[in-house]
Amino acid sequence: MTDQPPAAPRGAPPHAESAPVSITRHGTVAVVHIDHAPVNALSRGVRQGLVDAVRALDADASVSALVLSGGPGRFIAGADLKEMALPPDAPFLPEVVGAIDACSKPVVAALDGAALGGGCEIALACDLRLGSAKALVGLTETRLGIIPGAGGTQRLVRLVGVAQAIALVCEGRVLKAGEALALGLMDAVVEGDLLTEAIARAPAVAKRRLAALPVPVGDPAGEATAAAKALKGAKGVPAIAEAIRVIRASKDADFASGLALERAAFLALRESPEAKALRHLFLAEREAVKVPGLEGAKARSISSTAVIGAGTMGAGIAVALLDAGYPVILVERDVEAAQAGVARIDALYSRQVKSARIDEAHKAERLARLLPASDYAALAQADLIVEAAFEDMAVKIDIFRRLDKVAKQGAVLATNTSYLDLDAIAAATSRPEDVVGLHFFAPANIMKLLEVVKATHTAPDVLATALALAKRMGKQPVVAGNCDGFIGNRIYAVYRRHAEYLVEDGAAPEQVDAALEAFGFAMGIFAVSDMSGLDIAYAMRKRRAATRDPNERYVSIADTLVEAGRLGRKTNGGWYAYDANGTRTSDPAVTQIIAEARAAKGIQPRSFTPEEIQLRLLAVMANEGAKELAEGIALRASDIDLAFVNGYGFPRLKGGPMHAAEALGLATVLAEIKAAHTTGGAGSEPAELLAQLAAEGKTFADWLMA
Ligand code: NAD
């Protein structure tokens, strides 16, 4: 490959920071280089650079063909989501794609990495798509609540037919090189140097505009099946129905009409609350791992791990660690308990084998890395130890004292405590800097959230290790400060309290649950309590009874249920009754208990609309979240959103409690919180931060940046 001086437009050489798009010449072939770190997102500068380059090269008689390259390991990973929050700024993507489509000379896309979303749309407008083994291709827009808006659906359908296009677009599937080749989205997979090969082939490439191809005649039954399957998996995402409509329309309309239909649907969806929520979460995930104070901190090396306590959580955590490829030492109180723990883990894997998620060989390989023990001496070699014993400070302190004696220097000592003071646990050791909270959620091998709790003395490299571990386990980490309940359970406690106030004031538990389910939760809060077991929260309430503020309103209905032996699903009854199939129904006995509780306090029950219930519960969550932000327990509002979406079943399409509160308007939320304070008393005071932002008309993000 010979680098020659760039031709018009006189772009800077590749890798110059100022120009995200530049041109090099190789005989009569011009390579258009896209270089916009980190992933070549389609920012305005990239769009402008591409339009200018393609038009200029089309008009340049010395050029016979064009190659689009994103550089080593890249192509174009998609839209610039940060820009989507700003007013639209020309040139828009359809113009870029249109310039490529209209180019009279062959254009070759050299895909050495991700060609996703808008990047895939650009590739589809080219005449030939060459990829390396690293290529990833897909129209992933529906994952963000939108559809392709620059011809992606209309070109794809001409390549693969209606049924396949529906499946690919609605699932937002990312195809690896081999699959993309098999489906015709790529024309060849190159083994040698991709760019050299693309340049060599370009002059002989014929124009092949997908826009000019007919839509393949498909099988209507297969198309209907694909559409029905996509709608079933849609989970309320409006983009799915729109994608199906637009793809199907390609059969009855010419390319230009299909393009117009797609664009109109894209523009409407882009402004939808669902798309805004999903974009917010996408950006939140990238932000959450940026933790102030960790600059330069290097994660410690973890090659062996251990779990203490093999109950519900310990077994799940061990599976999560085994799945991530680590060997796991499993320590229980005695040999029998350790064996019971192994049996629990075996059963978790057997379930996965039964559902064909793994095969017997995988199960055997994972279990071979599990080492049960009842002697703490077995922990001496572990680089990371996760304690998941009883939720009791005396138990935890005893364990950490013993750990301090046996663990090797530099080992990370983690606890899965849900509520307890991490500093007190760390103080039981001579090395509080090595102690961190790793708060997994049940079932620990499945739930995505990992709350990483920073104690006062937690060392930056220990926190960095926890974040690296989360990544390796495929978890979403959220860093929390040390307080009662950390980010999630602290908010959840307020949420549950207010749900119980609603019941005591007149709503039936099933009405509260129905309102939450209509909001988008998979399950209402009382159904969730029944599933987890009412005894855990009961024990916590008893523990805290002595220190509870007497001005906090206390609802004793849940205590009465537990004392009547109603512990939830495990006793076939809690807030609900359960039949043999586990189906929940209202229980007159519970209605009676609630009526007695109201009567004892002289409460005249009133009725609540679903909207009132939703507003009240959202407001109290966001209010407690605002207190956490002000106290520094959460680093940013979007971290709270991630915690609730990934750990507490908060609907993704609402973007999390803080995002939903902002979407509603903080002034509305504040007014509601004032009413909630009257109802709940101490502990329900409006957050000062919320009042301040509502008064100033600002957002949580504004506050963080100030
Ligand atoms: P569990 O009762 O099911 O299991 C605890 C296990 O720890 C038991 O098997 C017990 O034998 C063992 N154990 C107790 N003391 C021990 C010791 N000194 N050495 C070794 N093993 C010991 O409890 P769980 O629900 O798995 O909860 C464990 C921890 O995880 C608690 O701190 C809890 O707050 C936290 N947690 C629980 C959940 C949940 O949903 N259950 C969620 C997040 C965090």
Give 333-376 pLDDT, tens digit per residue. 999 999 999 999 999 999 999 999 999 999 999 999 999 999 99
This prediction's pTM: 0.92
pLDDT band, very low/low/confident/very high, at 18 (cuts 50, 70, 90): low
Higher-pLDDT residue of 271 and 12 is 271
Q: Is the CB of 332 under 6 A from ligand 1?
A: yes
Q: Is the CB of 533 under 6 A from ligand 1?
A: no
Q: Is the CB of 306 under 6 A from ligand 1?
A: no
Tens digit of each residue's pLDDT (9 = 90 or more) over 143-187: 999 999 999 999 999 999 999 999 999 999 999 999 999 999 999
Average pLDDT over residues 12-18: 46
Residue 211, φ and ψ in degrees, nearest 5: -60, -25
Whether the CA torsion 174, 177, 183, 184 is positive or negative: it is positive
pLDDT at 62: 97
Identify which of 307, 312, 422, 446 to mutate to test ligand 1's pocket (most ligand atoms within 8 A of the CB): 312
Cβ neighbours, 10 Å, residue 530: 28
Token pair in block for residue 282: 């996408």
Q: Is the CB of 370 under 6 A from ligand 1?
A: no
Token pair in block for residue 704: 């963080």
Residue showing tokens 């330069």: 296
Q: Give the DSSP per-residue string, 438-456.
A: EEE-SSTTT--EEEEEE-T
pLDDT at 85: 75
Q: Which residues are catalytic?
A: 121, 141
CB 288 within 8 A of CB 663: no
Average pLDDT over residues 544-555: 94
With a CB cutoff of 8 Å and minimum separation 6, the contacts of 357 are none
Which of 93, 136, 132 is CA-nearest to residue 110?
132
Which of 394, 393, 392, 413 is CA-nearest to residue 403?
413
Average pLDDT over residues 4-33: 69
Token pair in block for residue 658: 């803080």
Q: Are strands 65-69 and 107-111 parallel, antiparallel or unpaired?
A: parallel
Q: How far is the CA of 324 from the centre of ligand 1 (A)?
A: 21
The C-alpha atoms of residue 58 and residue 42 are separated, in whole angstroms, by: 21
Q: Is the peptide bond before 443 cis (omega within 30 degrees of 0)?
A: yes
Which helix (H) or strand (E) covers residue 111, if one does? strand 107-111
Tens digit of each residue's pLDDT (9 = 90 or more) over 575-629: 999 998 889 999 999 999 999 999 999 999 999 999 999 999 999 999 999 999 9
Q: What is the DSSP letter of 18?
A: S
- Residue whose CA is closest, atom 20 of ligand 1? 332
Tens digit of each residue's pLDDT (9 = 90 or more) over 420-450: 999 999 999 999 999 999 999 999 999 999 9
- Residue whose CA is closest, atom 17 of ligand 1? 333
pLDDT at 436: 98
pLDDT band, very low/low/confident/very high, at 309 (cuts 50, 70, 90): very high
> Which atom of ligand 1 has the smallest separation from the CA of 314?
26
> Which atom of ligand 1 has the smallest separation from the CA of 419?
34
Q: Which amino acid is at 176?
A: K
Q: How far is the CA of 395 from the centre of ligand 1 (A)?
A: 10
The C-alpha atoms of residue 78 and residue 95 are separated, in whole angstroms, by: 16
pLDDT at 4: 41
Q: Is the CB of 379 under 6 A from ligand 1?
A: no
pLDDT at 543: 85
Q: Is the CB of 312 under 6 A from ligand 1?
A: yes
Examine the pLDDT at 236 and tell me if it is beyond 70: yes
Q: Are strands 584-585 and 577-578 parallel, antiparallel or unpaired?
A: antiparallel
The C-alpha atoms of residue 338 and residue 287 are separated, in whole angstroms, by: 39
Q: Is the peptide bond before 38 cis (omega within 30 degrees of 0)?
A: yes
Tens digit of each residue's pLDDT (9 = 90 or more) over 397-428: 999 999 999 999 999 999 999 999 999 999 99
Q: How far is the CA of 74 from the centre of ligand 1 (A)?
A: 45
The C-alpha atoms of residue 270 and residue 85 are separated, in whole angstroms, by: 10
Residue showing tokens 């220190």: 547
Tens digit of each residue's pLDDT (9 = 90 or more) over 71-125: 999 999 999 988 877 888 999 999 999 999 999 999 999 999 999 999 999 999 9
CB 123 within 8 A of CB 50: no
Q: Is the CB of 333 under 6 A from ligand 1?
A: yes
Q: Give the DSSP per-residue string, 272-325.
A: SHHHHHHHHHHHHHHHHT--TT-TT--PPP---EEEE--SHHHHHHHHHHHHTT
CB 103 within 8 A of CB 58: yes
Q: How far is the CA of 341 from the centre of ligand 1 (A)?
A: 11
Q: Is the CB of 390 under 6 A from ligand 1?
A: yes
The C-alpha atoms of residue 538 and residue 564 are separated, in whole angstroms, by: 12
Q: Is the CB of 525 under 6 A from ligand 1?
A: no
Average pLDDT over residues 625-642: 98
Buried b (16+ CB within 10 A) or exposed e, 647-662: bbbbbbbbbbbbbbbb
Token pair in block for residue 301: 């090396």
CB 145 within 8 A of CB 277: yes
Token pair in block for residue 534: 């009412």
Q: What is the DSSP letter of 10?
A: T
Q: How far is the CA of 643 from the centre of ligand 1 (A)?
A: 21
Which of 54, 60, 259 is CA-nearest to residue 158?
259
Q: What is the DSSP letter of 577?
A: E
What SS3 state is found at 26? strand
- Residue whose CA is closest, atom 39 of ligand 1? 442
Which helix (H) or strand (E) covers residue 406, if one does? helix 393-406
Q: Which residues pair with 130 in a beta bridge?
A: 110, 188
pLDDT band, very low/low/confident/very high, at 13 (cuts 50, 70, 90): very low
Q: What is the mean pLDDT of the chain?
A: 95
Helix axis angle, 666-680 to 610-631, nearest 10°: 100
pLDDT at 2: 38
Cβ neighbours, 10 Å, residue 671: 15
What SS3 state is found at 653? helix
Q: How far is the CA of 359 from the centre of ligand 1 (A)?
A: 29
Q: Is the CB of 415 under 6 A from ligand 1?
A: no
First to last CA, the chain: 50
pLDDT at 544: 86
Q: Is the CB of 308 under 6 A from ligand 1?
A: yes
- Residue whose CA is closest, atom 36 of ligand 1? 418
> Which atom of ligand 1 has the smallest separation from the CA of 532?
40
Strands, DSSP E only, in 357-405? 370-373, 384-387
> Which atom of ligand 1 has the smallest separation from the CA of 340?
9
CB 373 within 8 A of CB 308: no
pLDDT band, very low/low/confident/very high, at 8 (cuts 50, 70, 90): very low
The C-alpha atoms of residue 545 and residue 559 are separated, in whole angstroms, by: 12
Examine the pLDDT at 551 and tell me if it is beyond 80: yes
Q: Is 77 exposed, middle or buried (0-12, 13-18, 19+ CB in 10 A)?
A: buried
Q: How far does Cα 26 stand from its chain's mean position? A: 43
Tens digit of each residue's pLDDT (9 = 90 or more) over 469-526: 999 999 999 999 999 999 999 999 999 999 999 999 999 999 999 999 999 999 999 9
**Above pLDDT 70, what percent of the chain?**
97
Helix axis angle, 610-631 to 509-519, nearest 10°: 70
- Give a three-class secondary structure readout of 486-534: CCHHHHHHHHHHHHHHHHHHCCCHHHHHHHHHHHCCCCCHHHHHHHHCH
The C-alpha atoms of residue 99 and residue 89 are separated, in whole angstroms, by: 17
pLDDT at 7: 39
Q: What Cα–Cα distance (Å) separates residue 605 from each residue in 36, 351, 501, 502, 595?
A: 61, 46, 11, 10, 9
Token pair in block for residue 520: 């988008």
